[in-house]
Amino acid sequence: MRDPLSKTRKARDARDGYGFISLWLFGFFALTLIPLLFSFFLSFTDYDLLTPPVWSGLNNFKTMFTKDPRYWKSVFATFYYAIAAVPLRLVVALGVAMILNTNRRGVSLYRALYYAPSIVGSSVAVAVMWRQYFGTEGIFNALLRAVGIPSNISWTGDPRFAIWTLILLAAWQFGSPMLVFLSGLKQIPNELYESASIDGASGIRKFFRITLPLLSPVILFNLIMQMIHGLIVFTPALIITGGQPLDTTNFYALYLYRRGFETFEMGYASGMAWVLLVVIALFTFIIFKTSSQWVFYEAEKGR
Amino acid sequence: MGHATTPFKKKIHTMLFHLSVGAFAFLMIYPILWLAASSFKPGGEIWSRVLSLIPQHPTFENYMNGWKGFGGITFGTFFKNFFIIAALETLFVVTSSTIVAYGFARIDFPGKNLWFSCMLATLMLPVQIKIIPQYIFFGYLKWINTFLPLIVPKLFGEAFYIFMMMQFIRGIPKELDEAAEIDGCGRLYTFTHILLPLLKPPMFTAAIFSFYWSWGDFLAPLIYLNNPKLYTLSVALRSFADPGGMTDWGAIFAMSFLSLVPVLVLFVSFQRYLTQGIASTGLKG
Amino acid sequence: MVKKIGLLLISIFVLSSVAMAAGKSETAKPRKAEIKIIWWGSQTRHEGTIKVIELYKKTHPNVDITYEFSSWADYWTKVTTMAAGGQLPDVMQQDYARIAEWVKRGLHVQLDEYVTKKIIDTTNIEPSLIDTGRIDGKLWAINLGSNSHSMILDADMFKKAGIPLPPKDWTWEDFEKIALQLREKLGIYGYGVHMWNDQIWKAIYISRGEWIYAPDNKSIGYKDDTPFIQYLEMMKRLVKAGAMTPRQEEISQYAGGTQPEQTPIIFGKAAMQHQWSNQLSAVDKASGGKRNFVLYPLPRVKGGKSANYIKASQYFSVSSQSKFPEEAARFIGFFTNDIDANKILMAERGVPISSKVREALLPLLPPVQKEVFSFVEYISKTGSPCPPPDAPRHGELINNLYQPEVVDKVLFDIIDPVTAAKILRERGNAILSKN
């Protein structure tokens, strides 16, 4: 039955498909593409922002890879951050989402309270607030002293710990992945849990057999988004540590911003950005490739 | 015996739940409480009694000073600008992203993977690098000093939301669409009548994100809005601080705290839509 | 081929946007001059400046003025983007450390002509104060308020510790001794934050009658690294003795020393701190307004000259992308000389350069501001001449080398002061040689 129809069906799919994504396609070509290409070409130039760019070939990339020790430090800091912060944040977000996925009284208040820290994330006041936690005289040291550990460590100022305070900040602001998880959990039909309960399945078994597989599309989304987010992290380092101490929190995006806007090396900064794009694209590609092994789509089951 | 312990056990459970979740919640929002407390402290007290959560001499002075804004342009203007931008951005981006997501998630068409990759790639360049080219580009279109550079791009969907909606659509059984198609409904009808009602929770999630992100975004408004009467909350809030001169931190704290209110109110009022999942609509069967 | 096309496209893109902005004036010549003003600052400054603009509009109905403002942190992102897009406002606030960079790139208009034509009236201004806006003898910017380095001393703390205030020509040796005494007597850091900043580096060589850059700005300007090494060693000694805030604590507790409101001297944890003189108001207000702060010149090297000089806290300059440079200059003239305007501004940008304005303001000032005025007055009589503006690439040198690779590495004990001085000289020269 399909054979004679397949051609018209394909044509119809193409028509409908492009019809639905045409909105995005138009925006991409009209608004995004030109600035994107512009920054790509800039990466092969010396551009000080205030005078026209001068072609410099691969010079920016050579400097980056061979002559700039701070570049490698920022690469290290960024990976360190992403590798620690992304899983931590996702686990916390999933855990809290599951705890708050009940109909107990007061739970909507808790959701708001747990989401609140994510809202203040980019505000100017967050730096001041974070010092209340991790400053030399902050409450973290006060808590340590209260349980008998004498501590006057300057957490955000000590090269050993500064990056960890930013990682904790990321974990603290788990609001957006939590919300995505919550809506994902809402999509899982209750009947599945009920019938599993009748079969006598334990909570852990239900989590691994029902929750995780049915949540996997959303987990994939959160994983990729948080990874990208982790690798282009900018604001917390800018407003809390300013990249210090000793460049241990001088994340990639912060460093390229500084080279671009503080010392007028926009060509170099563009080069850095495109290297970053290639690396992130590679990671995303790998995650997508492996995702067929662990992501379960309700829509495509049995195919 | 068993009959008697169950409600008791349940009560203990509930108490434990509230105790632990509540205590953790306090730790979570401690800095916000601190912000609120500081916003009621007079200027000399903010830094000299920095750790105290209770103002010694509570005052509304910071709110009054902050609200009056800059040279006759009050925070009323900044709130209004923010609401206009955030509402339009949210409306546009959620609608358009859901439409585009349906195309990517449910229809197989040639070139799909290429366009999807391009779409994700737009997320992978740091915003800071796009500022200058975009500024020049919007300058061409004579859009500088209007809300257009902020709002118009949202009409065409944004990768984050498109991808998110895609993942939710893919979680919905395909039999639903197929049943509709067998009944002779076109794709548009299937989308608007079958899928959209099921996508309410993720759409509200997206709306919350969008609203909050336009609250937090300062770079784009900073660059494109060159008239203080058009400034948004985020830009106005940042205009208080001057490390080389005198900064009224009390006003910053007061206005920061006040600006949190609409985002929190929106969050709480959208709550009930979030809890209506597919589970409660009972469509799955 | 690809390269050529790419370059061509970029050039078209950049140049035409600049050209477009410039071309507008010819096609549609507005009858009324329109100028735009941009500055950075805090709420007080925004408020005052806007009021002055309204005042100017009332007395000059032939011009229309628009304006915008932002915080210091956002300002440079904003104006740099505007410059790249050819949309720079006519009058822009400028900074001492950056102006050479902007002038070098041809973004400002030379102002000598307007001074000769009295559009900017300099009758009541000491020539030395006008000179603060000169580069290579040409005038590029007008000083909006004078400023000098200072050491803020908490006089009550000194009294409590039984330490007499030092003579005004004190040396770094005196300074170190006092910091240690304060530590011993009161158990506080004698000195607060930001001792590592490049202003002190400059001050040490100014006190020796030298300058950190060579006259052609192509290399480090002094021969002897010893004073710099001694300064780094002194900081290490002070930190070790608990007489100066360690860098770790400075970053975590005191915002890296960048906000005057959040520094140890406010909390009574230090009794001496380097600040610009105009920042005294902020320090005084944040500490509750009841403390007894006095402004002191910076210490000198042994047998050296004054390390202080009068500097512009900020400037106004006219953009080369302006269509109405003359009207822009006229506004700057008004801003500098008009008594009513300055009564609104109340010297918030530093001590006004016009002697007439100063006279008019003096009786109206609060005590803290009086202290600032008399300090600047004192420096203008006893200080060293103003050094040349910072070399182009000064920002690169400080942000990419001096702070992260030199002083921080010493303060975190990664390298010793001698190595640090060597690194600064070698890599500093490499950066400057591109000038």
Q: How confident is the model over A56-94, as pLDDT tens digits? A: 889 899 999 988 888 999 999 999 999 999 999 999 999
In this prediction, residue C6 carries a pLDDT of 55
Q: Which residue from C13, C251, C400 is facing A263, i.e. has the nearest CB?
A: C400
Interface test mutation site (partner C, options A47, A49, A140, max chain C beta carbons within 10 A): A49
User: The domain spanning residue C279 has which CATH number?
Assistant: 3.40.190.10
Query: Are A262 and C15 in contact (CB < 8 Å)?
Result: no
Taking the CA of residue B232 and the nearest CA in chain C, the distance in Å comes to 12
Interface of A with B in 236-265 (CB under 8 A): 252-253, 256-257, 260-261
- Cβ-Cβ contacts under 8 Å between A and B: the total is 283
Residue C388 lies inside a defined structural domain of this protein: no
Query: Are A187 and B168 in contact (CB < 8 Å)?
Result: yes
Specify whether C53 is located in the same domain as C70: yes
In this prediction, residue C25 carries a pLDDT of 44
Whether A95 has its CB under 8 Å from any CB of chain B: the answer is no
Q: Which of C43, C73, C89, C76 is nearest to B144 (CA)?
A: C89
Specify whether C356 is located in the same domain as C398: no
Q: How many CB atoms lie within 10 A of CB A205?
A: 12
pLDDT at A268 over 60: yes
pLDDT at C97 over 50: yes
Q: Check if the beta carbon of residue C264 is closer than 8 Å to that of residue C283.
A: no
In this prediction, residue A81 carries a pLDDT of 94
Contacts (Cβ under 8 Å, ≥6 apart) of C288: B44, B45, B48
Specify whether C250 is located in the same domain as C189: yes
| Percent of residues, chain C, with pLDDT higher than 90 | 54
Structural domain that includes position C277 = 149-308+393-432
Specify whether C183 is located in the same domain as C263: yes
| Average confidence (pLDDT) over B84-88 | 93
pLDDT at C238 over 90: yes
Specify whether C127 is located in the same domain as C193: no
| Average confidence (pLDDT) over C336-365 | 90
> Mean pLDDT, chain A, as a whole number?
84
- At C164, the pLDDT band (50, 70, 90 cuts) reads very high
3-state class (DSSP) for residue A48: coil
A121 to each of A124, A151, B100, C270, how far by Cα in Å? 9, 27, 29, 32
Whether A153 has its CB under 8 Å from any CB of chain B: the answer is no
Residue in B closest to C254 by C-alpha: B47
> Measured between alpha carbons, how far is C159 from C156 in angstroms, rounded to an integer?
5
Q: Sort out which chain C residues have CB atoms less than 8 A from B139's CB and list them.
A: 17, 20-21, 85-87
pLDDT at A185 over 90: no
Specify whether C134 is located in the same domain as C218: no
Q: Which of C197, C201, C196, C226 is nearest to C212 (CA)?
A: C201
In this prediction, residue A4 carries a pLDDT of 55
* Count of the separate structural domains present in chain C: 2
In this prediction, residue A124 carries a pLDDT of 65
What values do phi and psi take at C87, rounded to 5?
Answer: -120, 30
Residue C13 lies inside a defined structural domain of this protein: no
Specify whether C370 is located in the same domain as C334: yes
Calculate ∠ Cα C315-C319-C325, nearest 5°. Answer: 100
In this prediction, residue A34 carries a pLDDT of 85
Specify whether C69 is located in the same domain as C123: yes
In this prediction, residue C14 carries a pLDDT of 55
> Measured between alpha carbons, how far is A76 from A55 in angstroms, rounded to an integer?
29
pLDDT at B220 over 80: yes
Q: Which of B237, B259, B260 is nearest to B249 (CA)?
A: B237
Q: Check if the beta carbon of residue C418 is closer than 8 Å to that of residue C229.
A: yes
pLDDT at C273 over 70: yes
Specify whether C193 is located in the same domain as C57: no
Q: Sort out which chain B residues have CB atoms less than 8 A from A35's CB and list them.
A: 130, 133-134, 136-137
- At B276, the pLDDT band (50, 70, 90 cuts) reads low
More reliable by pLDDT, B52 or B137 = B137
In this prediction, residue B3 carries a pLDDT of 47
Query: Are A124 and B34 in contact (CB < 8 Å)?
Result: no
| Percent of residues, chain B, with pLDDT higher than 70 | 92
Interface of B with A in 60-119 (CB under 8 A): 96, 99-100, 102-110, 112, 115, 117-119
Q: Which of C380, C286, C316 is nearest to C140 (CA)?
A: C316
- Residues written for chain B: 285
Specify whether C158 is located in the same domain as C268: yes
Output the CATH code of domain B76-279.
Answer: 1.10.3720.10
Tell me the three-class secondary structure of B70-127, residue by residue.
ECCECHHHHHHHHHHHHHHHHHHHHHHHHHHHHHHHHCCCCCHHHHHHHHHHCCCCCH
In this prediction, residue C204 carries a pLDDT of 94
In this prediction, residue C19 carries a pLDDT of 45
Q: How many CB atoms lie within 10 A of CB A117?
A: 22
> Measured between alpha carbons, how far is B127 from B129 in angstroms, rounded to an integer?
5
Taking the CA of residue B195 and the nearest CA in chain C, the distance in Å comes to 44
Burial class (CB in 10 A: 0-12, 13-18, 19+), C21: middle
In this prediction, residue C22 carries a pLDDT of 44
Q: What is the pLDDT of residues B224-269, one digit of tens each?
A: 998 889 999 888 888 887 777 777 888 888 988 888 888 888 888 8
Sign of CA dihedral A80, A85, A87, A88: positive
- Provide the CA B92 distance to its chain's centre, in angstroms: 14
**Model ipTM value:** 0.86
Q: What is the pLDDT of residues A147-157, one digit of tens each?
A: 887 777 888 88
Query: Are B222 and C267 in contact (CB < 8 Å)?
Result: no
Specify whether C364 is located in the same domain as C413: no
| Percent of residues, chain A, with pLDDT higher than 90 | 26
> Measured between alpha carbons, how far is B36 from B256 in angstroms, rounded to an integer?
9
Query: Are C404 and A70 in contact (CB < 8 Å)?
Result: yes
3-state class (DSSP) for residue B224: helix
Q: What is the pLDDT of residues A15-61, one digit of tens each?
A: 888 888 898 999 898 888 888 888 899 999 998 887 888 898 898 99
Q: What is the pLDDT of residues A202-238, one digit of tens each?
A: 878 888 888 888 888 899 999 999 999 899 988 888 8
In the numeric block, which tokens belong to residue C66? 């628009």
Query: What are the extents of the domains in chain B?
Result: 76-279
Peptide bond just before A245 cis, omega within 30 deg: yes
In the numeric block, which tokens belong to residue A100? 């708050």
Last residue of a domain, one of C353, C377, C401: C377
Calculate ∠ Cα B140-B146-B151, nearest 5°. Answer: 95
| Percent of residues, chain C, with pLDDT higher than 70 | 92
> Measured between alpha carbons, how far is B173 from C409 in angstroms, rounded to an integer?
59
In this prediction, residue C54 carries a pLDDT of 92
> Measured between alpha carbons, how far is A110 from A101 in angstroms, rounded to an integer?
11
Query: Are A246 and C253 in contact (CB < 8 Å)?
Result: no
In this prediction, residue A168 carries a pLDDT of 87
In this prediction, residue C153 carries a pLDDT of 93
Last residue of a domain, one of C377, C406, C422: C377
Map tokens 């929770």 to a residue: B201
- At B38, the pLDDT band (50, 70, 90 cuts) reads confident
> Mean pLDDT, chain C, as a whole number?
87
pLDDT at B1 over 50: no
Residue C202 lies inside a defined structural domain of this protein: yes
C158 to each of C186, C265, C286, C293, how far by Cα in Å? 9, 13, 20, 10
Q: Sort out which chain B residues have CB atoms less than 8 A from C258's CB and list them.
A: 243
Query: Are C107 and A162 in contact (CB < 8 Å)?
Result: no
Specify whether C203 is located in the same domain as C349: no
Q: Which residues of B touch C (CB under 8 A)?
A: 43-48, 50, 65, 70-72, 131-133, 135-136, 139-140, 144, 218-219, 222-223, 226-228, 235, 238-249, 251
Query: Are C13 and A38 in contact (CB < 8 Å)?
Result: yes
More reliable by pLDDT, B175 or B91 = B91
pLDDT at B215 over 80: yes
* DSSP per-residue string spanning C161-230: HT-PPPPTT-BHHHHHHHHHHHHHHHSSEEE-S-TTSHHHHHHHHHHTT--SB-TTSSSB--S--HHHHH
pLDDT at C43 over 80: yes
| Average confidence (pLDDT) over A9-18 | 84
Comparing A9-13, B108-112, B244-248, C129-133, the range with the smallest average pLDDT is B244-248
Question: What is the Cα Rg of chain C in Å?
Answer: 23
User: What are the structural domains of chain A?
Assistant: 65-300 (1.10.3720.10)
| Average confidence (pLDDT) over C245-273 | 84
> Mean pLDDT, chain B, as a whole number?
83
| Average confidence (pLDDT) over C320-346 | 91
